């Protein structure tokens, strides 16, 4: 390495290491881009209503009284691009296609229990468990 480059490269590498370490530990998911809060569009509202119906169906199996959509709270909704088809829900020793997947990360809550959903742009969804 040329002598004049050393004073620039060493601090730059240190900065990248510090910043990179902070980003790597910020989330357990492999995002292509950081999640972005999305405005409440009619499309997103329709997706959230479908997910609330899914929560109601799931909780009716375990609760004495089934949940209604009004009992289910939206905690967060963010547009996300994941690095693979696991959409951040992969389990150890599973393999997934390494392609970019656009969609939403939506978290709902009912009686203290959180439901972490991943929704593809085509509307198909999965509950991360």
Determine the Cα angle at 34 with ends 31 and 39, to 5°.
Answer: 120
Handedness of CA 16, 18, 23, 24 (dihedral sign): positive
Please report the pLDDT score of residue 95 as a whole number: 85
Tally the domains of the chain.
1
Task: Indicate whether 100 belongs to any domain.
Answer: yes
Of 6-15, 40-49, 104-113, 114-123, the least confident: 6-15
Task: Indicate whether 14 belongs to any domain.
Answer: no
Task: Indicate whether 108 belongs to any domain.
Answer: yes
Helix (H) or strand (E) holding 32: strand 31-37
pLDDT at 42 over 70: yes
Give the span between the Cα atoms of 28 and 41, in whole angstroms: 28
Q: Which residues of 72-88 are buried (b: 16+ CB within 10 A; e: fewer)?
A: beeeebebbbbbbebbb
Give the span between the Cα atoms of 35 and 25, in whole angstroms: 15
**Which residue range is the domain that position 93 belongs to?**
30-128
Task: Indicate whether 85 belongs to any domain.
Answer: yes
pLDDT at 5 over 80: no
Task: Indicate whether 6 belongs to any domain.
Answer: no
Task: Indicate whether 57 belongs to any domain.
Answer: yes
Task: Indicate whether 38 belongs to any domain.
Answer: yes
**Tens digits of residue pLDDT in 65-112:** 667 888 899 999 988 998 888 888 888 888 888 888 899 999 999 989
Task: Indicate whether 25 belongs to any domain.
Answer: no
């Amino acid at each position: 390495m040329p002598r004049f480059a050393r004073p620039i490269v060493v601090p730059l590498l240190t900065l990248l290491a510090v910043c990179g370490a902070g980003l790597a530990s910020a989330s357990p998911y492999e995002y292509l881009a950081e999640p972005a809060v999305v405005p409440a569009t009619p499309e997103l509202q329709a997706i959230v209503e479908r997910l609330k119906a899914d929560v109601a169906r799931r909780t009716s199996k375990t609760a004495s009284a089934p949940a209604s959509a009004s009992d289910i709270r939206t905690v967060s909704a963010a547009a996300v691009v994941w690095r693979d088809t696991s959409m951040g829900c992969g389990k150890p020793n599973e393999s997934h296609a390494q392609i970019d997947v656009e969609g939403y990360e939506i978290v709902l809550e009912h009686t203290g229990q959180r439901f972490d959903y991943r929704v593809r742009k085509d509307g198909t969804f999965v509950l991360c468990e």
